[in-house]
Amino acid sequence: MARHVIIGAGTAGWNAITTLRELDKGGSEIILVSEEAPYSRMVLPYYLAQSIGESHVYTASSSRLAELKVETRIGQRAEQIDSAAKKLVLEGGGEIEYDNLLIATGSSPLKAPVPGADGDNVHSFWTLSQAQTVTAGLRKEARVAVIGAGFISFTILNALVNRGAILTVVELESRILPRMVDETGATIVEKWLAERGVVVRTATKLSAIEDKNGAKLLRFENGPDLEADLVIMATGIRPNIEWTRSSGIEINSGILVDDHCRTNIPNIFAAGDIAEGPDIVTGRKAVHAIEPTAMLHGRIAGANMAGGDTAFAGSLLMNIVDVLDLEIASFGAWDDPEAEAFETVKPDRPAFRKLLFRGGRVVGAVILGKTRDIWTTNDVGMLKGLVYTGVDLSDWKDHLRHNPFDVKRAFLAAGTAGQLLSKTVLGRPSVPAGEIAISS
């Protein structure tokens, strides 16, 4: 019986497990080694908002894992891989032999390297344990400073505001969401936040965090000091690759994988935030530290570990976030400097659209609009479909140049929906995770 060892119980690891069991119905040994129990980081903002309880954060209980015949080593860390002997070495001793190994150890948050960053009431918001601390400690009308105005910071703004925090967002770069929207889009979002009482300070560099009368005093290289009760650092992440360095696995920014999620070493796969795999738009390899890529990679790796030969065309970079009822999304090569860009801002409302073309193909898009404007949600889906499928829009390019908001007709006329239907990960409808069962 083949033995699969999965390292990491996040989205990528869990999707690999369910795919393995969907395909082999229990006909293999699965050992899950993970520092944390299986849960989804993506739902932590809802936990912070107190709209879901802790039990809803977990993706699998210990009884579900037992039902799927998964042997678990939760709370244990992988330390080293001996690929010649096909052994995983655990921190603190112990080895596990494998036939197939999946590395799905995700990423870790980085804190701004300033004095006081490790002090009391200064937290990252990445793990469940950090989310528990912030959620329990957050008082109504607490003064909260969020350092970093990127995607992760924006996923928690709603929760912080709705729980009555008085919020200041500090960004080192000259605009907010610098890796998600351009200058025009960022200006609209900043205005939207300011109108809702969120203070935004851009081009501001934190230099130290001090304690002052039970509160935190934030010092900056430029700009006035800021007092806060709680500081949340959302200043970037990095893939957890260090522990794999001695294994001979090829690493760039992440672990390099092919279109089967295979590394350069036979029988070793990587998936999710840690993996640098094909990007569907550029064809080059990239780390996409987002949930859909973790899910896609996990399913592909699981299918191939089960003995299949399943390739994927590439993952799509996409970031979608709703901030105080403003929907913000970008897809693919949204900042490609060599693409032809068509963009429009609506004069009467916060609504922005940018389409980036290479030839007849949309390679990237940015969309901003009120969540309650029905077109916003519809167009988010359609733009994603256009970029993902890369359909030929040559006949519609001129129309879209002058009317970037009118994507629906182009989407339909180009047959995008039909192309999307054929693009399921494993080439057939998937089985819901809760319905997967092993044969007795």
Ligand X SMILES: Cc1cc2nc3c(=O)[nH]c(=O)nc-3n(C[C@H](O)[C@H](O)[C@H](O)COP(=O)(O)OP(=O)(O)OC[C@H]3O[C@@H](n4cnc5c(N)ncnc54)[C@H](O)[C@@H]3O)c2cc1C
The two structure tokens encoding residue 299: 């399913």
* Residue 240 contacts ligand X per CB under 6 A: yes
265-284 residues near ligand X, rule: CB under 6 A: 272-273
Distance in Å, CB of 168 to ligand X, minimum? 19
Binder of ligand X out of 6, 19, 20, 35 (CB under 6 A) = 35
CB 168 within 8 A of CB 226: yes
Please say which residue, 8 or 148, places its beta carbon nearer to ligand X. 8
Q: Are strands 78-82 and 87-90 parallel, antiparallel or unpaired?
A: antiparallel
Please work out the total of residues on this chain that contact ligand X, with binding judged by CB under 6 A.
Answer: 35
Nearest to 116 by CA among 212, 199, 236, 201: 212
Angle at which helices 11-24 and 291-305 cross, to 10°: 30
| Joined tokens for residue 343 | 């963009």
Kindly indicate which of the ranges 50-58, 64-72, 289-297, 347-355 contains the residues binding ligand X, using the contact rule CB under 6 A.
289-297
Residue with tokens 């609009």: 369
Applying the rule CB under 6 A, the residues between 42 and 61 that interact with ligand X are 42, 44-45
Indicate the residue type of 117: A
135 binds ligand X (CB under 6 A): no
Both tokens assigned to 255: 């672990």
Single out the residue of 292, 343, 405, 433 in contact with ligand X (rule: CB under 6 A): 292
- Would you count residue 106 as binding ligand X (CB under 6 A)? yes
**Residue 188 makes contact with ligand X by CB under 6 A:** no
Q: 234 is written with which tokens? A: 């959302």
Site for ligand X contains 220 (CB under 6 A): no
Q: Please say whether the beta carbons of 291 and 10 come within 8 A.
A: no
Residue from 5, 6, 12, 303 touching ligand X (CB under 6 A): that is 12
One-letter identity of residue 207: S
Q: Does 101 bind ligand X (CB under 6 A)?
A: no
Helices (H) and strands (E) in the chain, counts: 11, 26
Shortest reach from residue 211's CB to ligand X, in Å? 26
**Coil, strand, or helix at residue 239?**
strand
User: Does residue number 180 form part of the binding site for ligand X (CB under 6 A)?
Assistant: no
- Say how far apart CA 96 and CA 297 lie, in whole Å: 23
What minimum distance in Å lies between the beta carbon of 310 and ligand X? Answer: 19
Interface positions with ligand X (CB under 6 A): 7-13, 33-36, 41-42, 44-45, 77-78, 104-107, 125-126, 152, 155-156, 240, 243, 272-273, 289-292, 294
